[in-house]
Amino acid sequence: MRHLALTAALIATPLTYATAQDASLNPTFGVQDLQAGFATDPNWVYLLAGGLEQRSFTDAISGDVCRGYFADAPDYRMVFTSDGGPLSITAESHDDPVLLINGPDGRWYCNDDSHGLDSAVTFAAAQSGTYDIWVGTYGDPQGDYPGAQLSFTQLEPFEAQIRRSFFGEDDRLVMDVTQAPWNMIGYVEMQSGSCTGTLIAPNIVLTGGHCITNLGEQDNPPMRFSAGYQNGASVATAGVTSYHVPELWRLAEQEGMDFAFFYLDQPLGDRLGWMNIGTLTPQELAGFANGTGPDILQAGYSADRPGILTGNLSCPFVELASQNRLVHECDTVQGDSGSPLFIQDASGYRLIGVESHTNFQPEQEFDMNVAMYVANIVAEYQALTRTGPAASAVPAPVTK
């Protein structure tokens, strides 16, 4: 599972060079031989990222410094027979992977944040020989090592990921943030990193729960909300006075509860408007089932288009799955966490889901994009604002 929050980019400050990473040790997750022209491209393997040691390395290609927490032994070893052509090695994870490689020439190669938060090292003319590989994490994993996908490709780096994430074609458009409903969506500056949020009341914004906290982690509070943010300017900006994350997410990361509210120090919604939150009607669900449902819209601050609000005007609906999950085919990537999925109805715009995460499905044609269906959000909001009975959330109907 990959959450779509965008964490702070690394500001590279050279540290004392250290080589605790020992290429003579046996790799933890395996060894394989690859020859140029390998049939399954990308060739990939799952492993666990991170380690106990924080180290800094300088990439032999770019000169950039990258820093992360690595294990002592290589995570993986690949012995490559080259034809003189290119080779890219990539690392994908929900927890900001840092890729480190000791090449056949004995030099160190590293990368952090090449495609969103995912990492890649490309050898324009790859050498034959042994590539010892570490997949680290930018933050201290504190013994909870996240899953990661390590890939080898002679295509463009992340070509397969982009194809899977965008369902074959990128349909995102740049939105006019001076107009509704796009001016109700904004850039959420966290204490570290960013997410997307939506006005749902004059001074209340809805975003992703994992943007603020995950199980056992220290909170990463929202600091500022910039409505209609585009290229460094915004329609309106406000500070944050407080926030609320459901206890079922904070204490258990319960599926269906990955959302949060925060309160602004100014009622921006009085000027810009806000979206209602509400469940889909049986008629709307039936319409989605037979292909006549309302258009689903989405917009957020994708990591590959920094500072620009891009979105989808007609996302395919897939299903309402168990545990209040809305599975969809909006083109979303890291940075879109907390972004709204919504429809237009007679009373305005109705938010029906909040973007949460992407499930890797490398063995499938496409990945699975998952939003939190609004049923739990409505119940939590009613209890929080006392606008209705503080009853337990009604589970979403499961259409599968």
**pLDDT value of residue 215:** 84
Q: 200: how many CB neighbours lie within 10 A of its CB?
A: 19
For 144-195, how does the pLDDT look when each residue is reduced to its tens digit (9 = 90+)? 899 999 999 998 777 666 666 788 788 899 999 999 999 999 999 999 889 9
Q: Domain 2-157: give its CATH code.
A: 2.60.120.380
**pLDDT value of residue 176:** 97
Consecutive sets of 10 residues in the chain, 400 residues long: mean pLDDT of each? Answer: 46 41 95 93 92 94 94 97 95 89 97 85 96 95 90 81 75 95 97 93 97 89 97 96 96 94 97 96 93 94 88 93 93 89 94 90 80 96 72 39
For 101-146, how does the pLDDT look when each residue is reduced to its tens digit (9 = 90+)? 999 999 999 999 887 788 999 999 999 999 999 999 999 998 889 9
**pLDDT value of residue 39:** 84
pTM: 0.69
Structural domain boundaries in the chain: 2-157, 173-385
**pLDDT value of residue 366:** 82
Q: Which CATH topology does 173-385 take?
A: Thrombin, subunit H (2.40.10)
**pLDDT value of residue 162:** 67
Q: Judge if 2-157 and 173-385 fold alike in CATH terms.
A: no
